[in-house]
Structure formats: C-alpha cells, structure tokens
Amino acid sequence: MSAHPTIRPRPGILEIAPYVGGAAHAPGANRSVKLSSNENPLGPSPRAVEAYQALAGDLAVYPDGGATDLRAAIAAAHGLEADRIVCGNGSDELIALLCKAYAGVGDEVLSSEHGFLMYRLSALAAGATPVTAPERDLTTDIDAMIARLTPATRLVFLANPNNPTGTMVP
C-alpha cells in the first residue's frame, strides 16, 4: 500500500513498530506468569469478582471517563484533593496522556536507557524526541539523567523500581 500524497501521520508515528506480546516461557518450568503483563498467578481477588458481579447489569452503560467516584474515594482515603488525581486504564494511558499534554514536535522526553518502552513510544506518538540516559548495572544513573537535560526537555520519566529491570535507586 502506498502512502497518500498529502495525508501523512504526525512525525514519529511511523517509527512505532506494532506491539508483539511475548509468550511466557521459562526453561524447565511447567507454568510461567508474566508479571510485566500484570498477570496474577492467584487469579482475581474475590472482592473484585464480587464487585464486578454486582455491577454486571450496568456493563452496557458507558463508564465515567473522569473516574469521579474512584478519585473521590482515593482522595478521601489519602487526604488529597480529588481534582489533583488522574486515573487511567493502566500506565500506558497515563504516560500517553502526559506526552500528549506536555510534549510535541521539537520537545524531548527523557528516560533511562532500559526504561519502560511506553516512554519512547508515547514520545514518538506525540511528535517529540525520546532521549535516553545510560544506566549503570541496569540501574538508573541519576547523574546521567541530569546530564541529558536540555532546554528542550519537557518530561522526565523515572520509575522506581524500574520497569523492566526491577532495579531501584535510593
């Protein structure tokens, strides 16, 4: 299929390869659990199943995209303002929202060398340039992160523990 002569995606979009999920496999194991995919070897919480079943009759109703009740409950439990809480469908969505809101063409999004792939993909989707800082022993090097900051840096992603390495910085 050839590209349309005038309709083109935003810069960075064509640099994103489609996601291909990996199979959970470990030599010698009869069962593997992919923690990186949030799989739970114990199955869902009985309380989650109960809550789901209680709302089963409402599944045809479009959900509250603002997660109003959830944000209010989190705010009440932690003494926060609900308007300062953002909820999403996992970290992928929240990372994408941050990049869409704060980064674009000419901007940079900084993360560690072996950081979560979604930092790079969301930066590219927003038209920004992903920048990585080298790590030391698969651990985020804070000094290296600081050294990579430029006036074009709009977002810095620092996960602790890091995903996917699981290493931590003090």
Residue bearing the bigger pLDDT, 33 or 117: 117
CA 169 to chain CA mean position, Å: 19
Q: β-pairing, 129-133 with 139-140?
A: unpaired
Q: Which two tokens stand for residue 160?
A: 């602790």
- Indicate whether 39 belongs to any domain: no
What's the mean pLDDT in 142-148?
A: 98
| pLDDT above 80: residue 5 | no
Q: Is residue 59 assigned to a domain?
A: yes
3-state SS, one letter per residue, for 11-52:
CCHHHCCCCCCCCCCCCCCCCCCCHHHCCCCCCCCHHHHHHH
**Is 106 found in the same domain as 59?**
no
Domain that holds residue 74: 45-84
pLDDT in tens, 39-85: 788 889 999 999 999 999 998 989 898 999 999 999 999 999 999 99
User: 82-112, pLDDT tens digit by residue?
Assistant: 999 999 988 999 999 999 999 999 999 999 9
- Domains: count for the chain: 2
170 found inside a domain: no
- Given 35, 64, 84, which residue is the final one in a domain? 84
Residue 37 lies in a domain: no
Percent of the chain with pLDDT over 90: 66
Give me the pLDDT at residue 113, please. Answer: 95
Is there a single domain that holds both residue 74 and residue 102? no
Residue of 79 and 16 predicted with greater confidence: 79
Q: How far is CA 125 from the centre of its chain?
A: 13
- Which tens digits make up the pLDDT trace of 26-48? 788 787 777 667 778 888 999 99
The residue written with tokens 């840096």 in the block is: 153
pLDDT at 52: 92
